[in-house]
């Protein structure tokens, strides 16, 4: 949140800004505005090293580009880390005199305000916004962040879509009930802990069953072909491929549906499913599927396959899809919190996904791969980072 116009910014000397150039404390400049981006280092799509190399320096050229111009959402996001203004003349008598005059003027304004409102304004209150670097303006935002959001967002109506796509660096509380709130969160490691044993067991079961040589696929009433155990890797990869398509479709047509402005319930459902992730993209506890939703998707996928194919073949395809789901959740988490090596595949994928959050919310629906974005023409324009 930018500081209000009723208070003067905190002044910071050039030497002080230059000292903050480590992972533990990283400050940058945008013109004369100073930002503490320490908490953003790991999230930056260009990686920690790129931001650290510019610590203590003006990043205005990088914000404007080339290689790319940062979006309005990216600029709005940066304001959450604003801490003050650069004092280029710090230490000179002229600057000290100017600061003294400014302080005297502020005292006059403060006293005038006291006479009108009867309130006592302290220096600590005056600087609270800068010291706290609050992510959102609690008094001006469209929702009350001090209360659970689940039942508020439906009332936003036509303002919801614009609001939900203006990301903030702030944890979200959906429900007031502690048990309901806990049910919406999942630590990233529970995904492999729960599902990888299932993948290993069914992989072994399918491979050994196919190895018995009794499995045949009926093509017509009188024609069938044997399915050898060496077909299992192909069935596994087919399942993974099908999951990538399901992942794309869910992300595009369910998670990114635009709920009708007049429908309170659809807006609420959209926010619970995916909108809250776009509003707070770095809330780590909500970056993976909640257990209930994951079980529903996985179970439905299994039932459809077993009704379409012989059970053992359907299970073989299913286990590949389940492995694809695990990889999807892990990669998604890494794209938000990892710092991949510059030039690597994951580096490009992270930049691609962050652009989906900050600028191209109606494109770039692929998470683990951009494969399906090409045939459906939802590819984000290519920009180098």
Which string of DSSP letters, residue by residue, matches 294-312?
HHHHHHHHHHHHHHHS-HH
Q: Angle at CA 363, nearest 5°, toward 64 and 301?
A: 145
Q: Is the dihedral of CA 327, 251, 277, 360 positive or negative?
A: positive
pLDDT on residue 119: 43
Interatomic CA distance for residues 254 and 277, integer angstroms = 14
Q: Which H or E run includes 190?
A: helix 190-211
Tens-binned pLDDT, residue by residue, of the chain (385 aa) = 444 444 567 888 888 888 888 888 888 888 888 888 887 777 776 667 777 888 888 888 877 766 667 777 777 777 878 888 888 765 444 444 445 444 444 454 344 444 444 444 443 343 333 333 335 666 678 999 889 999 999 999 999 999 998 888 888 899 999 988 888 888 888 889 989 999 999 999 999 998 888 887 777 777 878 888 889 999 999 999 999 998 899 899 989 999 999 999 999 999 998 999 999 888 766 766 665 666 677 777 777 777 777 788 888 999 999 999 999 989 998 888 887 887 889 888 888 888 888 878 888 888 888 899 999 999 987 754 4
Structure tokens at 1: 């949140």
Interatomic CA distance for residues 211 and 225, integer angstroms = 15
251 among annotated binding-site residues: yes
pLDDT tens-place string over residues 106-164: 454 344 444 444 444 443 343 333 333 335 666 678 999 889 999 999 999 999 999 99
357 among annotated binding-site residues: yes
155 among annotated binding-site residues: no
pLDDT on residue 3: 41
Task: Find out whether 250 and 243 touch, Cβ atoms under 8 Å.
Answer: no
Neighbours of 118 (CB within 10 A): 7
pLDDT tens-place string over residues 281-312: 887 667 666 656 666 777 777 777 777 777 88
20 among annotated binding-site residues: no
pLDDT on residue 204: 95
68 among annotated binding-site residues: no
44 among annotated binding-site residues: yes
pLDDT on residue 105: 46
228 among annotated binding-site residues: no
pLDDT on residue 314: 85
Interatomic CA distance for residues 167 and 339, integer angstroms = 20
């Amino acid at each position: 949140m930018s500081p209000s116009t009723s208070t003067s910014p905190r002044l910071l000397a050039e030497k002080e800004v230059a000292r903050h150039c480590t992972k533990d404390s990283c400050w940058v400049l945008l013109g004369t505005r100073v930002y503490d981006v320490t908490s953003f280092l790991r999230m930056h799509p260009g990686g920690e090293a790129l931001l650290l190399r510019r610590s203590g320096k003006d990043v205005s050229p990088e914000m404007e580009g080339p290689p790319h111009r940062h979006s309005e959402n990216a600029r709005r996001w940066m304001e959450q880390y604003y801490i003050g203004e650069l004092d280029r003349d710090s230490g000179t008598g002229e600057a000290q005199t100017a600061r003294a005059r400014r302080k005297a003027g502020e005292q006059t304004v403060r006293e005038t305000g006291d006479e009108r409102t009867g309130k006592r304004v302290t220096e600590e209150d005056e600087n609270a916004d800068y010291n706290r670097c609050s992510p959102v303006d609690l008094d001006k935002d469209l929702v009350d962040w001090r209360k659970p959001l689940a039942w508020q967002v439906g009332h936003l109506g036509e303002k919801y879509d614009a609001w939900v796509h203006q990301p903030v660096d702030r944890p979200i509380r959906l429900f007031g009930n502690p048990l309901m709130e806990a049910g919406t969160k999942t630590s990233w490691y529970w995904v492999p802990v729960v599902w990888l044993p299932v993948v290993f067991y069914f992989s072994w079961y399918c491979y050994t069953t196919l190895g018995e040589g009794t499995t045949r696929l009926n093509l017509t009433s009188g024609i069938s072909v044997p399915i050898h155990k060496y077909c299992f890797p192909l069935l596994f990869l087919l399942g993974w491929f099908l999951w990538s398509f399901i992942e794309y479709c869910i992300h595009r047509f369910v998670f990114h549906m635009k709920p009708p402005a007049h429908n309170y319930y659809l807006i609420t459902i959209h926010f619970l499913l995916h909108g809250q992730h776009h509003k707070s993209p770095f809330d780590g506890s909500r970056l993976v599927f909640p257990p209930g939703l994951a079980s529903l998707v996985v179970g439905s996928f299994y039932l459809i396959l077993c009704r379409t194919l012989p059970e053992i073949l359907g299970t073989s395809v299913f286990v590949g899809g389940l492995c694809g789901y695990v990889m999807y959740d892990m990669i998604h988490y890494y794209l938000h919190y990892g710092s991949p090596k510059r030039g690597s595949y994951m580096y490009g994928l992270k930049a691609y996904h962050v652009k989906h959050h900050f600028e191209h919310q109606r494109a770039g629906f692929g998470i683990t791969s951009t494969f399906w974005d090409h045939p459906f023409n939802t590819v984000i324009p290519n920009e180098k980072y």
